[in-house]
Structure 1
Amino acid sequence: MGSLGAAGSMASMPLAQQKRLVALELPATLNGIACTLKFKLHPRAESLMVSAEPNAKNQHYIWQHYLNAWAVDGTFCCYRQKDKKLFSTQPKAVASESYFYEAQQLTAGDIKFLEDFTSRATDERHRELNRDYVKITQLTFELRERLKSTDLLPEVCGDLEEKLRWAERNLGERYHAGIENKCQDILDSLRSGDDLFYKDEMRCADFLYFLALQYFRTAKMREGLSNIPSYVPGHDPRRTAKILNHIFATTSALGCSGKGTPIKSYSSRTTRRFPSSRGTSRS
């Protein structure tokens, strides 16, 4: 933590100097861990840099670029099963929740459950990837605990808390956005019937991880993982569901990678466009 972790070292600093130090050091700490995660999990993903960007409150669990393919003049029809209702809407308004990827602080029981689950993998790369992912989700909470031992002024602590909350709410969203952006050209190629990318080992790996992540990150999948039996005291499946979907995605992607798994393309010739059977947006 450097200066931020040194209790008593900042007491004599003026407010402006404390703010400048914090403004430089906290983002550097978060960005350093984020970059480590980026290169270990997905070397060519977009940056997860902490920035002054506003919160992306409306976070999609189905990629808008998917949904846009069904839109005509920016809108499409959805069918909400619960209400038995057909309605017209826009891609930005469905398959999303407020702060869907917001990180949650894990208990010792949660971490033990995840470690028990992760340690079952036979591939050491797989175990390392998933342990690193757990670490990044807990980074802001660890930083917040360390800051309690400092003598920062209240105004500076307020600035720090704002940055930590930004990271908790947005790093997960930005990670998914990076994966999606790297595979947008692949999806566009598939829509035109071109699957040559699949012969490139790196691009194939990109695609398999992207595809697995899209499948396991949905609200319905998270709901299922939130209801699994818990055998570890202090473990709440609702807290670990966001991490389990990542573990399942890496398991699936690594399991298919390098095996020459065939892919098949299907074309829809229907006149009506229904991108999702759920067709819901929750906040």
Structure 2
Amino acid sequence: MLRTSIEAKKRHHYVWANYLTRWGNGTKNVFYTTKTGKIACDSVRAIAADDFFYKTTTLTSENVDIIKAFSRKSPSHLHTQHISYLDDVLKLQRLEAIYRASGKQDQEAEALLHATKCNLMENLHSSHEMKALSILEALANERLDILHDKQHMIEFMMFFGHQITRTKPFRDAVFNAQPRRNNLEIKVSDTIVHAWWFISYMFGMNIGWSLYSSRNEDIHSLLVNDTGLPFITSDHPVVNVHSCVSETDFIAPEYADFYYPISPRIAYIICNSKRFSPGVNYIDKNTVEELNIKIANQAMVHIIGNTTNALLPYKKHLGLRYKKRPLF
């Protein structure tokens, strides 16, 4: 039997399974819409996941150049971080090239290479999840004060940024939106597809840092829902609910109100608008209904709730945004 340290992680969740259990009524089973549009109840392990979703690929020199070009648009300290991560990936790639060139084949070496490709990005996302674990627990219990700690705020915003960019709906929307009108655009588009496992992580870091940097200009609010109509979540749990977001036209929104349900009762929102006041906000049923519709609208396959009845009103809204236009 192979050592545990080199066992490959095959099943990659693009929405954190632990996060989804807050809709499990004390269990790991949640209600969710299936690919066929039915409502099922099963373990969170069964949904918002694909085999080898974050598995790394071999990067060509052209891929690397395009990744670096994207990275140079970042703040300098983030660019340095991106390149450091990229260098680590390329070192591993060079080691594999040396091994392949030797002509030798070793079972344990093959298993180690496979596990490294499967586990590298999955482990990075897991590290952000672990740092956010106690923060989400506190927020679910209305303890907004946990974010008064600067380190907690940095960790939560980094986690938050990746909840936007790491999902399959976001990935597919970006892929669909890439122009392929000339040779350069084709090369960029092909690199985005081939190296999305790295590029999406880089984008998530950038969004997280931007949200942290603007924390004193944006309004950060905890939404408390005591209406009896629970919040739902989805396979793309952070959505822009700002009124400027077009439902029909392919236009990048000028502003963002990033909404993130944390449980059937609690949600977090980061607002460019003045819609909510800083701190704790108790919201009404109409607001819950609106936010649930927007979650359903931007989901791809799964909307997730704590009961069948929590999902039934929103099935008709599921994925409507994709049918109207190709990007969030």
TM-score, normalization by structure 1: 0.72
Show structure 1 runs of 5+ residues with no match.
1-49
Does residue 264 in structure 1 map to residue 221 in structure 2? Answer: yes
- Equivalent position amino acid for 1:124 in 2: S
Deviations 1:131-174 (A, max 9, x none): 223233344322111224547x54xx332121111100011111
Residues 58 and 96, structure 1, Cα contact 8 Å, conserved in 2 = yes
Among 131, 145, 150, the alignment partner of 1:201 is 150
Q: Distance in 1 between matches of 2:196 and 2:127?
A: 21
Match of 1:65 in 2: 18
Q: Which residue of 2 aligns with 1:191?
A: 140
Query: How far apart are the structure 1 equivalents of 2:73 and 2:231?
Result: 42
Equivalent-residue separation in structure 2 for 1:173 and 1:139 (angstroms): 18
**Cα distance change of structure 1 residues 199 and 174 upon mapping to structure 2, 3 Å threshold:** same
For the structure 1 residues 86 and 148, does the alpha-carbon distance in structure 2 shift closer, same or farther, using more than 3 Å as the test?
closer
Q: Residue in 2 aligned with 1:38?
A: none
Indicate the residue corresponding to 1:140 in structure 2: 92
| 2:40 counterpart SS class | strand
Distance 1:75 1:272, change over 3 A: farther
Match of 2:59 in 1: 106
Please show how residues 70-149 of structure 1 align to structure 2 within 5 Å: 70-72=23-25, 73-80=27-34, 83-121=36-74, 123-149=75-101
Q: Assess if the C-alpha contact under 8 Å between 2:11 and 2:52 holds in 1.
A: yes
Which residue does 2:179 correspond to in 1?
229
In structure 2, what residue type is equivalent to 1:75? N
Deviation of the 1:217 alpha carbon: 0.2
2: CA distance, partners of 1:273 / 1:197: 22
Give 1:220's aligned residue: 169
SS across alignment from 2:15: coil
Give the total of aligned pairs. Answer: 226
| Structure 2 partner of 1:279 | 302
Cα distance in 1 for residues equivalent to 2:93 and 2:82: 18
Counterpart-to-counterpart distance in 1, 2:59 and 2:6: 26
Q: Would the aligned equivalents of 2:56 and 2:195 in 1 still touch at CA under 8 Å?
A: no
How far apart are 1:93 and its partner, in Å? Answer: 0.6
- Verify the 8 A CA contact 1:222 1:242 in the aligned structure 2: no
Q: Which has the higher contact order (CA 8 A, sep 6+)?
A: 1
Q: Once the 2 structures are TM-superposed, how far is the Cα of residue 266 of structure 1 from its aligned partner?
A: 1.8
- Output the amino acid matched with 1:203: H
Structure with greater strand share of residues: 2
Distance 1:144 1:74 in 2: 39
- Counterpart contact for 2:8–2:114, Cα < 8 Å: no
Q: In structure 2, list runs of 5 or more residues that go unmatched.
A: 235-298, 304-328
Q: Report if aligned partners of 1:102, 1:170 keep a CA contact under 8 Å in 2.
A: yes
Q: RMSD between aligned alpha carbons? A: 2.4
Amino acid at match of 2:112: K
| Aligned sequence identity (%) | 18
Q: TM-score, with normalisation over the residues of structure 2?
A: 0.62
1:130 partner amino acid: H
Deviation at 1:221, TM superposition (A): 1.1
Note if contact 1:60-1:96 (Cα within 8 Å) is conserved in structure 2. yes
TM superposition shift of 1:88: 1.4
How does 1:41-60 map onto structure 2 within 5 Å?
52-60=5-13
